[in-house]
Amino acid sequence: MNSARFAWLQLRREGLRGDLLLLVAAVAIAVAAAAAVSLFTDRVRAAMAAGGGEAIASDLRLELRDRLAPDRREAMQAAGLRVAETVEFASVGIQPGGENTALVSVKAVEPAYPLRGEVIISRDAEDSSGQTIGSGPPAGAVWVERRVLAELDLRLGDRLQLGESELEITARLIAEPDRGAGFLGLAPRVLMNLADVPATKLLQPGSRAEYNVLLAGEPDVVRSWRAETEPTLGRGESMESASEARPALQRALDRAEVFLDLSALIAVILAGIAIAMTAHQHALRRYDEIALIKSLGARRGFLGRMLAWQLVMLGSAGIVLGLSLGWTAQAVLSGIAARALSLALPGASPLSLWPALLTGAVILGGFAWPLLAAARNAPPLRVLQGSAAGDPATRALYPVAILSVVGLVAWQTGDLLLCLYVLGGGLLSAIVLWAAARLFLKGLGLLVDRALVPVGGWRQGVTALLRRPQQTSLLIVAFGIGLAVLFTLAIVRTDILASWEQSIDQDAPNRFLINIAPDQLDQVERYLSEQMNRSPELYPMIRGRLTQRNGEALPNDKVDREEAGELMRRELNLSWQAELKNDNRVVTGQWFTAEDHGRALVSIDESVAERLNVGLGDSLGFDVAGETFRAEISSIRHIDWDSLQANFYLIFPPGFLDDYPTTWITSIKVEPADEAALSTLIRRFPNISTLDIQVILRQLEQVIDRVSLAVEFVFLFTLMAGVLVLLAAIQTTRHERLREAAVMRALGARASLLRRAALAEFLGVGLLSALLATLCAQTLAVVLAVQLLDLDYQLRPLVWLLAIGLAAGSIATAGMLGIRGVLRQPALASLRD
Amino acid sequence: MQASSEHKPAIQALNIGKQVSSGETSLTILDNLDVEVAAGESLAIVGSSGSGKSTLLGLLAGLDEVSSGEIRLLGQSLAGMDEDDRAALRAGRVGFVFQSFQLLSGLTAVENVMLSLELSGQPDARQRASQALESVGLAHRLTHRPRQLSGGEQQRVALARAFAIRPQLLFADEPTGNLDDKTSDSISDLLFQMNRETGTTLVMVTHDRELAGHCDRCLTLSSGRLA
Ligand SMILES: Nc1ncnc2c1ncn2[C@@H]1O[C@H](COP(=O)(O)OP(=O)(O)OP(=O)(O)O)[C@@H](O)[C@H]1O
Ligand SMILES: [Mg+2]
């Protein structure tokens, strides 16, 4: 008979019994989790990236040397992109009919601006929270920063003269989304309509201006358009995506992906454990049957094919179920996400279901198949001698299961380091748990031997644990690992997210004070400390250009942005510092010693080293205010951009830049109550400007919110997978328990004794695995937080006590529920089975 | 096939021995046995518990490998055959009846009988299985599962399963060992009746002297040797 037909007949005749049902459910959960990740998180990722687009008010910014040619614009629009052009230039703002003038930084935008994010303006002079608006100023109007009003002695509704035009100031500009990293030292902003620019006659051929084209569209469209177009860019033209523009946001997105991958992965591994347990149970049940079929003349090959077919049949059912579950769930969740976060998610494609399908196949092949494959080796002699004839070796399981987990982790995360951590952690936990379980049983055995455990139900329960040490230990390892990953995930979800939020929120400054003159230093510091109770560090800042690398001139219009990029084109902020800031860390080389002061040395950020392709000992040439000099790289630093403090790519030792024009910069956290004091400071020193970086903070917060939601969603599947492990564990011992209970009842044990015995047993397993899981999870979380996510992590013993109690309680409860039928079943029925 | 094998012995065992070793100690279960069973003959193997009867039966049926000596089953030497080859040799030609019935608990009575028919690739499995159950007096219990049947009824299902494929050889290990006297009488009557009808060669292990007396020949085993 055909093996497929035989497999189908056997399945159909036996029906879906408990263990097979669990197998299907476990496959379904794993596939659903994977599907949810590849559907939902892909969409959230795209949406988050779009959120990140606020950093450059678009998905992609194209820098040009002149206005955008009409045919290029048409090509962009034809490719499905939205386009908005901006032009930035320095100019002088004039008070019409008055004598006040001020250097301003003009940005002229089209009405479609901003393509991502919002402009914040205020139509009243004092209100500092403002209103968000999705477009730039209309023709004839300008929005200006407070400083423009102060320096020109103007009010809202007044007119501002720019070149040959006069434009009406209709609102005060509080924030614009793409006020990029080059903001330091800028003159105050005037935002105007691009259509008004020609009339001002300010832009003549050859005037210095920055021409940008903002682009937005579906992620795929943007990506493929960029890939196509970037190689064809002309000299001096370059492209930049949101993530490249905002390192802090990029890091947030990166972490988000790690969280999501981790949660999904853990759900899949948990389901894998459940699958292995049920497959083991299934295989065990099959040994006698296989021996019988062999005695009737079936070969191993036939049996192997039959078992494979059965796995394929059950697996397909689970996979189809999981795919539909994942699809439905992500659709529902996307709806919620869209409403809660006003986050328009891009559509999901059925095509992105294939990773989930593959996941299903991999866990079936990795966790279930080796056990079933071993079952076909059951010796036919079992028909005569029963289990005395021996069980097939199931050791084959471990390498295959481990390999498939490695494959899954590596593939899902694409991150070898993470893969190693997850695996190492898992393996180490399993070993530790096994050893601890054996030790625990030894100890229990001693207690029982010394008659320290009272006779009765409790003692029965304890001896039940001792009666099957192998199985008890396996249960403890399985529960322990299951709980450990659940706990780890819970930590990741709450604790790490919280400490991440804290690391951004609490001390993060929200205001920069820039352009402080050297002779104002003392007064400003005194004012801050006396009036505002702040004593921030102040840093010197010198504007300069990078011109040479190891004595060779750097081309100042790099086409290839990977390398020197805009470091070459823009003026840079140079600084000198004696002490290493605490959000900086030296990666290679040495921070300046006292002897280094005054020497031609420079410490650079690691991204600069990478982009310029330079290292320790290389020299860089600079041009500051027309004077040139060289300095040798003496250290490379890692900067923690999350601190949101003023940071510098290039730092020199004190005493070296003394002769160059210097201004000072600092950052402080301003509470609403401090606004008045700050205004007074600005009025007293009009040259100082403040810069609100609330926008950046808000973006980070939003990303964190979205991440939490996505992680919580995937966490749901992880929880379900955990429950499955529990059920599988109970299922594996169910048969044996039925018999034992029947025998004990036949011997006169009352139901209450059986119940107490079972409770003692489950509580023992539950408590120990929860305790061990906690230890594992804590260690894992600390490693994760410190090594992978660069966060400080704090232990919270009380939460853990609660977790242990809860976990042990649930295991015991679930166990009692699981064997409810066992205790109720009449002894005769169990014995006949 | 039927004709050629009838002239040769169905089973020839020469000098066979079986040792098992667990750790360092080696235990000899069977020692230097010669057994020959002619086609169509019925042979009883008797002996006290632990004397090695089941072990011998397993070896003769090719379920296990000898440690020494040689066995020829249905004219073919088992030497050098692996488990699969021996299974292929059994397929469709060898039936079993066990002390503990060995019915699959998930399948109904008729499905259990169909199993052996399906595995040997015979057509009309359901119809023939029903007939076989009818001939053991269980026509009315076709769709009952093993746990709904008494021990005697289960053993009848096992007999139906064994004879449904019309085997050349039938091995039985204490087929009445788990049954009361009356039931065991009816089972052994049924066994010999079907044996006569099909002309099957029968090798049966039993404690029951009376049952052994129904066989053409009787071997007594004592501590792994022929007595
Ligand atoms: N795999 C094995 N490992 C160790 N000892 C074995 C093994 N198989 C059989 N024996 C031993 O060999 C001896 C013979 O076993 P066997 O099952 O053949 O006895 P038997 O004559 O069938 O007994 P019974 O009448 O009780 O069924 C027994 O002592 C048994 O313990
Ligand atoms: Mg025996």
- DSSP-assigned letters across all residues of A367-426: IIHHHHHHHTT--TTHHHHGGGG-PPP-TTHHHHHHHHHHHHHHHHH--HHHHHHHHHHH
Count the residues in chain B.
Answer: 227
Yes or no: say if A301 and A342 are a contact pair by the CB < 8 Å rule.
no
Burial of A792 by CB count in 10 Å (0-12 exposed, 13-18 middle, 19+ buried)? exposed
- B64/A299 touch (CB, cutoff 8 Å), yes or no: no
Query: Would you state the pLDDT for residue B6?
Result: 47
- B104/A289 touch (CB, cutoff 8 Å), yes or no: yes
pLDDT in tens, A385-444: 777 777 776 666 667 777 777 777 677 666 677 677 767 777 787 888 889 889 988 888
Whole-angstrom Cα Rg for chain A: 34
Closest ligand 1 atom number to CA of residue B47 = 21
Q: Which of A647, A521, A633 is nearest to A577 (CA)?
A: A647
Co-location of A254 and A212 in the same domain:
no
Residue A723 has which token pair? Answer: 């429950």
Whether the predicted pLDDT of A561 surpasses 50: no
| Helix residue spans in A195-246 (DSSP H) | 197-200, 219-229, 242-245
Mode of pairing for the β-strands spanning B225-226 and B217-222: antiparallel
Separation in Å, CA A232 to CA A225, A228, A560, B119: 11, 8, 11, 69
Query: Would you state the pLDDT for residue A97?
Result: 82
Q: Which of A371, A362, A367, A143 is nearest to A275 (CA)?
A: A367
- Which of A282-286, A626-630, A767-771, A792-796 has the weakest average pLDDT? A792-796
Closest in B63, B91, B108 to A384, CB measured = B63
Reported as a pLDDT band with limits 50, 70 and 90, residue A599 is: very high
Instruction: Tell me what the mean pLDDT of segment B35-39 comes to.
Output: 93
Chain B: nearest CA to A304, how far in angstroms?
12
pLDDT in tens, A344-369: 555 666 777 888 888 888 888 888 88
Co-location of A33 and A99 in the same domain:
no
Reported as a pLDDT band with limits 50, 70 and 90, residue A560 is: very low
Which range, A59-73, A775-789, A798-812, has the best average confidence (pLDDT)?
A: A59-73
pLDDT in tens, B182-221: 888 888 888 898 888 888 999 999 888 888 999 999 999 9
Closest in A1, A384, A832 to B57, CB measured = A384
Is residue A663 a part of any domain in this protein? yes
- Please list, in sequence order, all residues whose beta carbon lies within 8 angstroms of the beta carbon of residue A362, skipping any fewer than 6 positions away: A404, A407, A408
Co-location of A553 and A591 in the same domain:
yes
Give the 3-state DSSP-derived string for chain B, with helices as H, strands as E and coil as C. Answer: CHHHHHHCEEEEEEEEEEEEEECCEEEEEEEEEEEEEECCCEEEEEECCCCCHHHHHHHHCCCCCCCEEEEEECCEECCCCCHHHHHHHHCCCEEEECCCCCCCCCCCHHHHHHHHHHHCCCCCHHHHHHHHHHHCCCHHHCCCCHHHCCHHHHHHHHHHHHHHCCCCEEEEECCCCCCCHHHHHHHHHHHHHHHHHHCCEEEEECCCHHHHHCCCEEEEEECCEEC
The number of C-alpha atoms within 13 Å of B139 and in the hemisphere containing its C-beta is 5
3-state secondary structure of A79: coil
Closest in B57, B102, B173 to A292, CB measured = B102
Separation in Å, CA B193 to CA A494, B85, B94, B184, B199: 76, 31, 18, 14, 10
Chain centroid, CA A291 distance in Å:
51
Reported as a pLDDT band with limits 50, 70 and 90, residue A586 is: very high
Co-location of A150 and A226 in the same domain:
yes
Q: How far apart are CA B136 and CA B158, in angstroms?
A: 10
Residue with tokens 């399981």: A397
**Torsion angle, alpha carbons of A301, A305, A308, A310, to 10:** -130
Q: Which of A242, A260, A281 corresponds to the end of one domain?
A: A242
Query: Would you state the pLDDT for residue A191?
Result: 94
Q: How far apart are CA A506 and CA A501, in angstroms?
A: 8
Q: How far apart are CA A80 and CA A175, in angstroms?
A: 29
**pLDDT greater at residue A430 or residue A108:** A108
Q: How far apart are CA A765 and CA A807, in angstroms?
A: 11
Q: How far apart are CA A655 and CA A643, in angstroms?
A: 27
Whether the predicted pLDDT of A268 surpasses 90: no
Chain B: nearest CA to A288, how far in angstroms?
8
Amino acid symbol at A256? A
Chain B: nearest CA to A728, how far in angstroms?
20
- A296/B116 touch (CB, cutoff 8 Å), yes or no: yes
Phi, psi of B32 (to 5 degrees): 50, 60
Is residue A141 a part of any domain in this protein? yes
Using most ligand atoms within 8 A of CB, pick from B53, B59, B65, B67 the residue to mutate for ligand 1.
B53
Chain B: nearest CA to A15, how far in angstroms?
8
Co-location of A260 and A394 in the same domain:
yes
Amino acid symbol at B87? A
Whether the predicted pLDDT of B168 surpasses 50: yes
Co-location of A758 and A712 in the same domain:
yes
Q: Give chain A's contact residues with B (Cβ, < 8 Å).
A: 1, 6, 9, 13-15, 17, 288-289, 292-301, 379-381, 383-386, 832-833
Residue A310 has which token pair? Answer: 């059965």
Share of chain A above pLDDT 70, in %: 77
Nearest residue on chain A to B120, alpha-carbon basis: A1
Does the Cβ of B55 fall within 6 Å of ligand 1?
A: yes
* Segments of A447-571 assigned E as strands: 511-516, 539-549, 552-553
Query: Would you state the pLDDT for residue A558?
Result: 39
Q: How far is the CA of B9 from the centre of ligand 2 (A)?
A: 25
Query: Would you state the pLDDT for residue B211?
Result: 87
Is residue A353 a part of any domain in this protein? yes
Yes or no: say if A681 and A530 are a contact pair by the CB < 8 Å rule.
no
- Please list, in sequence order, all residues whose beta carbon lies within 8 angstroms of the beta carbon of residue A199, skipping any fewer than 6 positions away: A163, A164, A165
Q: At what angle do helices A354-363 and A397-413 cross, to 10 degrees?
A: 160
Closest in B54, B84, B147 to A299, CB measured = B84
- A833/B105 touch (CB, cutoff 8 Å), yes or no: yes
- Which of A204-218, A723-737, B15-29 has the weakest average pLDDT? A723-737
Using most ligand atoms within 8 A of CB, pick from A382, A383, A384, A385 the residue to mutate for ligand 1.
A385
- Which of A419-433, A491-505, A610-624, B115-129 has the weakest average pLDDT? A491-505
Which chain A residues are Cβ-neighbours of B115 within 8 angstroms? Answer: 293, 296
Q: How far is the CA of B53 from the centre of ligand 2 (A)?
A: 6
Is residue A682 a part of any domain in this protein? no
Q: How far apart are CA B172 and CA B12, in angstroms?
A: 18
By the CB < 8 Å criterion, does B93 face chain A?
yes
Q: Which of A216, A242, A268 corresponds to the end of one domain?
A: A242
Q: How far apart are CA A41 and CA A704, in angstroms?
A: 14
Co-location of A558 and A648 in the same domain:
yes
- A296/B115 touch (CB, cutoff 8 Å), yes or no: yes
Going by the DSSP 8-state scheme, the letter that residue A365 receives in this structure is I
Query: Would you state the pLDDT for residue B2?
Result: 43
Domain residue limits at A639:
535-668
Co-location of A182 and A289 in the same domain:
no
Q: Which of B48, B35, B164, B175 is nearest to B102 (CA)?
A: B175
**pLDDT greater at residue A622 or residue A814:** A622
Whether the predicted pLDDT of A833 surpasses 70: no
Which chain A residues are Cβ-neighbours of B111 within 8 angstroms? Answer: 13
Instruction: Tell me what the mean pLDDT of segment A143-152 comes to.
Output: 85
Reported as a pLDDT band with limits 50, 70 and 90, residue A699 is: low
Which range, A4-8, A623-627, A630-634, has the best average confidence (pLDDT)?
A: A630-634
Co-location of A339 and A221 in the same domain:
no
Does the Cβ of B29 fall within 6 Å of ligand 1?
A: yes
Reported as a pLDDT band with limits 50, 70 and 90, residue A184 is: very low
Which chain A residues are Cβ-neighbours of B145 within 8 angstroms? Answer: none
- Please list, in sequence order, all residues whose beta carbon lies within 8 angstroms of the beta carbon of residue A781, skipping any fewer than 6 positions away: A487, A488, A491, A492, A495, A496, A793
Q: Which of A382, A408, A81 is nearest to A215 (CA)?
A: A81
Which range, A191-200, A334-343, A738-747, A765-774, has the best average confidence (pLDDT)?
A: A191-200
Is residue A425 a part of any domain in this protein? no
Reported as a pLDDT band with limits 50, 70 and 90, residue A182 is: very low
Co-location of A60 and A165 in the same domain:
yes
State the total domains in chain A.
4
Closest ligand 1 atom number to CA of residue B57 = 18
Q: How far is the CA of A280 from the centre of ligand 1 (A)?
A: 28
Is residue A188 a part of any domain in this protein? yes
- A298/B61 touch (CB, cutoff 8 Å), yes or no: no
pLDDT in tens, B49-107: 889 999 999 999 998 899 999 999 999 999 989 888 998 888 889 999 888 888 888 88
Separation in Å, CA A111 to CA A63, A633, A788: 19, 46, 43
Reported as a pLDDT band with limits 50, 70 and 90, residue A129 is: low
Q: How far apart are CA A713 and CA A716, in angstroms?
A: 5
Q: How far apart are CA A453 and CA A459, in angstroms?
A: 6
Whether the predicted pLDDT of A117 surpasses 60: yes
Q: What is the ipTM of this complex?
A: 0.85
Whether the predicted pLDDT of A32 surpasses 70: yes
Is residue A518 a part of any domain in this protein? no
Closest ligand 1 atom number to CA of residue A390 = 1
Yes or no: say if A727 and A818 are a contact pair by the CB < 8 Å rule.
yes
- Please list, in sequence order, all residues whose beta carbon lies within 8 angstroms of the beta carbon of residue A323, skipping any fewer than 6 positions away: A31, A32, A35, A353, A356, A357
Average pLDDT, chain A: 79
Residue A396 has which token pair? Answer: 């084959």
Instruction: Tell me what the mean pLDDT of segment A520-546 comes to.
Output: 88
Query: Would you state the pLDDT for residue A181?
Result: 43
Whole-angstrom Cα Rg for chain B: 17
Closest ligand 1 atom number to CA of residue B29 = 12
Burial annotation A477-497 (CB, 10 A radius, 16+ → b, else e): bbbbbbbbbbbbbbbbbebbb
- B119/A17 touch (CB, cutoff 8 Å), yes or no: no
Using most ligand atoms within 8 A of CB, pick from B19, B27, B173 the residue to mutate for ligand 1.
B27
Does the Cβ of B20 fall within 6 Å of ligand 1?
A: yes
Mode of pairing for the β-strands spanning B217-222 and B42-47: parallel
By the CB < 8 Å criterion, does B81 face chain A?
no
Co-location of A62 and A90 in the same domain:
yes
Chain A: nearest CA to B128, how far in angstroms?
16
Q: Which of A196, A219, A242 corresponds to the end of one domain?
A: A242
State the CB neighbour count (10 A cutoff) for residue B22. Answer: 7
Is residue A638 a part of any domain in this protein? yes
Residue with tokens 């029906």: A15
Chain A: nearest CA to B118, how far in angstroms?
6
Query: Would you state the pLDDT for residue A563?
Result: 44
Co-location of A479 and A346 in the same domain:
no
Q: Best of A295, A828, A832 to disrupt the B interface by mutation (most B CBs within 10 Å)?
A: A295
Which chain A residues are Cβ-neighbours of B93 within 8 angstroms? Answer: 297
By the CB < 8 Å criterion, does B166 face chain A?
no
